[in-house]
Amino acid sequence: MEVFSNIVDQQTLRKVNLDTLKIIRDAVATSFGPYGSSSQIKIGDDTLPKFTKDGYTILMNLKFNGIIETSLKEVMEDLTRHVVKEVGDGTTSATLLSYAIFKRFVTMEEPNNPDVNYEIFKSMPPVEIEKAFKKVVKQLNEIITHNKRTIETAEDIKKIAMVSTNSDEELSQIIADIYKENGNEVYIDVKRSNVDEDYTKTYDGMTLNTGYGDKAYINDKELGAANINNPHIYFFEDPIDTPEMVGFLQKITWNNILEPLQNKKEFIPTVIVCPKISTDVNTILDNIQKLIFQYRGAGINIPFLMISNVHQKGIFMDIARLCNAKTIKKYIDFNNQKRDQENGDAPTMETVHEFYGTADAVVSDYDKTKFINPQGLYKPGTLEFSDEYLQMVEYLKTEVESAKRDGQSLNTIGDLKRRYNALKANMVDLFIGGATPEERDNRFDAAEDAVLNCRSAAANGYGYGANVEGFSAVSKLSYSDFAEDKLVMAILDVLYNSYLDIMAMLYGSAENLYLDSYKEYEDAGSKAVEYVNEVIKNWVPVDVVTKKMSYDIISSIDSDTSILEIIAKLMTILINCKQFVCPLPTVSYKQSVELDNGVKAILE
């Protein structure tokens, strides 16, 4: 009786991983460079196909029929996710380089390999190779970062956007104009448009991603927005769904709106902000909305606005604090509530109408509400930012950096960034249009990549694109004292030749020629070899389309450093892994690999 285990040995594991990397490489390579093509992806039965040139989107939608293959794909997806969300670029280059590097390592492990690096890799334990690889990448990233340049003009932004959008002049100019008008710290949120054209919406106040609760509140027909000047703003920290909270709302509306209306007094402009409301509250609001419509017909504007469904707790609390408002919240411990009421920190029915903050204006449309010049933004009587505001901004900036450094989730980092940019009052929505679903999908993906690339470059600097900075750094390090170590020199040799491979693939795409290595392009007499050599001569990109050296092909400096960090982590896993333990015992994985290659992938 034959015995099967759940252990896959190193030799078989190496082959399956290499075959899997090649399939992933071939899939994402279709999108590589200006001549890259779209992939059509069917995500679900009830959805339209998605069209994309985005390498990460293609990677996410690859499916494999084996546990080892699926595991490697999931590792790559996880490694590239953070980079894509930070820089918007890098998945395709990282995948191509990873395959080229790992293929060389696997090839050098083969018996009788004539490569001069074979002996050094054979004689070293995998853990030492791993350490040396990380050491090399650290040095390379220091060289790359040292070469960074600072964004000086909107023209720099346009050049970066042109690379990310495959030379979409119109879209790149829109992004450049946003930076020109709002400065380098602007936060651009990319959205799909429901029309063919691209357009922008600028929010010049501290912003919540929630709009008015009903069209009845719209008093500015030209903007389609509710605009309340110098309002009393009440921040309900918890849902208005208990008798006490509903009573608080009734008291505020009576004091500020209904009582003045009944006694022909001046209204108190009122804005209510809360996470959620109950059915009882809807009845109250329905009555107010009817009054608003009725009196608007008579030329009387009732300045009232309700903002509910607020889920951004952090931004909510930041804005309340800057409006100098005490929030209204629920209490579980009634002793604590009584104590806070006595101290003036919690409202009673008699005092709740006094628990408000102020701003110059609150402007709300269907999906955004901005607070213009909250009371605590400036020092009294000046246009100088208050100490409290500056402390809040600095605190959030530090928190963003700490979250990145500590490896916290993308959601956590994203929430902190949104809080920071909401306080900076520097947000723009960019709506992406297109004549067809394919065009809109492709332009949306390109715009997202461009915005993230520009944001990263504005914050951290830029360098040449097309992998030139990383390639150049490998060359420089190869001729330094650092490379005297034989193992380091061997790793640099592997990296250099791997960069040669993907650069040849980039320029070979102009001839519709997709080969595995620089040598294959050389043997085929491809012009790609000439362009790669031109890059090496000057360490300046050659434009794939014009075939001329171009100083305009630039990208965030973080693109190259992030790609190398992905590769270092992936190589650590691939090189240092001796075996794979499957969830269950299985028929020889080695046998299945020999029969049908054990690896199949489809785009669903």
Confidence of residue 18 (pLDDT cuts 50, 70, 90): very high
Contact 108, 126 (CB under 8 A): no
User: Could you give phi then psi for residue 106, rounded to 5 degrees?
Assistant: -65, -40
Q: Select from 143, 169, 141 the least CA-distant residue to 155.
A: 169
The pLDDT > 90 percentage for the chain reads 44
Which DSSP string do the residues of 140-187 spell out, in sequence order? HHHHHHHT-B---SHHHHHHHHHHHTTS-HHHHHHHHHHHHHH-TT-E
**Is 597 a residue whose pLDDT tops 80?**
no
- One-letter identity of residue 450: A
Q: Are residues 254 and 185 part of one domain? A: no
SS3 192: strand
Question: Would residue 73 count as lying in a domain?
Answer: yes
Question: Would residue 44 count as lying in a domain?
Answer: yes
Which DSSP string do the residues of 238-288 spell out, in sequence order? S-B-SHHHHHHHHHHHIIIIIHHHHTT-----EEEE-S-B-HHHHHHHHHH
**Is 10 a residue whose pLDDT tops 90?**
no
As a whole number of angstroms, the distance between CA 141 and CA 476 comes to 12
The whole-number pLDDT of residue 123 equals 78
Confidence of residue 203 (pLDDT cuts 50, 70, 90): low
Q: Are residues 172 and 116 part of one domain? A: no
Domain holding 273, by residue range, is 206-377
Q: Are residues 167 and 306 part of one domain? A: no
Number of domains in the chain: 3
Query: What's the maximum distance between 2 C-alpha atoms anywhere in the chain?
Result: 99
Q: Are residues 278 and 342 part of one domain? A: yes
Q: Are residues 229 and 127 part of one domain? A: no
**Is 601 a residue whose pLDDT tops 50?**
no
The whole-number pLDDT of residue 2 equals 59
Q: Average of pLDDT values for 435-461?
A: 88
pTM of the model: 0.70
More confident residue, 600 or 321: 321
CATH at residue 145:
1.10.560.10
- Residue labelled with tokens 């040139």: 53
As a whole number of angstroms, the distance between CA 528 and CA 506 comes to 8
SS3 431: strand
The whole-number pLDDT of residue 382 equals 73
Q: Are residues 214 and 193 part of one domain? A: no
Q: Average of pLDDT values for 134-148?
A: 94
Confidence of residue 380 (pLDDT cuts 50, 70, 90): confident
Q: Average of pLDDT values for 59-88?
A: 87
Q: Select from 439, 300, 321 the least CA-distant residue to 377.
A: 321
| Side-chain-side CA neighbours of residue 524 (13 Å) | 18
Top-confidence range, 178-187, 217-226, 396-405: 396-405
Q: Average of pLDDT values for 75-82?
A: 86
Which of 76-80, 90-94, 184-188, 312-316 is the least confident region?
Answer: 184-188
SS3 518: helix
Q: Are residues 118 and 58 part of one domain? A: yes
C-alpha dihedral (353, 357, 363, 366), degrees to nearest 10: -70
Number of CB atoms found within 10 A of residue 512's CB: 7
Contact 14, 106 (CB under 8 A): yes
Q: Average of pLDDT values for 511-529?
A: 91
Instruction: List pLDDT tens digits, range 538-595.
Output: 999 999 999 999 999 999 999 999 999 999 888 888 888 888 888 877 655 554 444 3
Q: Are residues 161 and 129 part of one domain? A: no
Q: Average of pLDDT values for 55-73?
A: 91
Confidence of residue 149 (pLDDT cuts 50, 70, 90): very high
Q: Average of pLDDT values for 246-271?
A: 93
More confident residue, 405 or 267: 267
Question: Would residue 339 count as lying in a domain?
Answer: yes
Q: Are residues 181 and 78 part of one domain? A: no
Q: Which residues of 304-341 are buried (b: 16+ CB within 10 A; e: fewer)?
A: bbbbbebebeebbebbbbbbbbbbbeeeeeeeebeeee
**Is 90 a residue whose pLDDT tops 90?**
no
**Is 604 a residue whose pLDDT tops 60?**
no
Question: Would residue 72 count as lying in a domain?
Answer: yes
Question: Would residue 387 count as lying in a domain?
Answer: no
The whole-number pLDDT of residue 52 equals 83
CATH at residue 269:
3.50.7.10
- How many residues make up the chain in this entry? 604
Instruction: List pLDDT tens digits, range 348-358.
Output: 999 999 999 99
**Is 257 a residue whose pLDDT tops 80?**
yes
Q: Are residues 362 and 235 part of one domain? A: yes
User: Could you give phi then psi for residue 303, rounded to 5 degrees?
Assistant: -80, 80
As a whole number of angstroms, the distance between CA 132 and CA 152 comes to 37
The whole-number pLDDT of residue 599 equals 42
Contact 200, 502 (CB under 8 A): no
Q: Are residues 176 and 134 part of one domain? A: no
Confidence of residue 596 (pLDDT cuts 50, 70, 90): very low
- Residue labelled with tokens 């800057």: 322
Which of 130-134, 459-463, 586-590 is the least confident region?
Answer: 586-590
Provide the mean pLDDT of the chain: 86
Q: Are residues 194 and 75 part of one domain? A: no
Q: Which residues of 409-441 are buried (b: 16+ CB within 10 A; e: fewer)?
A: eeeebebbbbbbbbbbbbbbbbbbbbeeebebb
88: region left, alpha or beta (phi > 0 left; psi from -120 to 50 alpha): left
**Is 478 a residue whose pLDDT tops 90?**
no
Q: Average of pLDDT values for 173-186?
A: 88
Question: Would residue 129 count as lying in a domain?
Answer: yes
Which of 422-431, 455-464, 493-502 is the least confident region?
Answer: 422-431
The whole-number pLDDT of residue 78 equals 87
297: tokens are 């017909």
Q: Which runs of E-coded beta strand occur in 455-592?
A: 462-464, 554-556, 580-581
As a whole number of angstroms, the distance between CA 83 and CA 452 comes to 10
256: tokens are 């500020």
CATH at residue 176:
3.30.260.10
Instruction: List pLDDT tens digits, range 335-348.
Output: 999 999 999 999 99
As a whole number of angstroms, the distance between CA 284 and CA 150 comes to 55
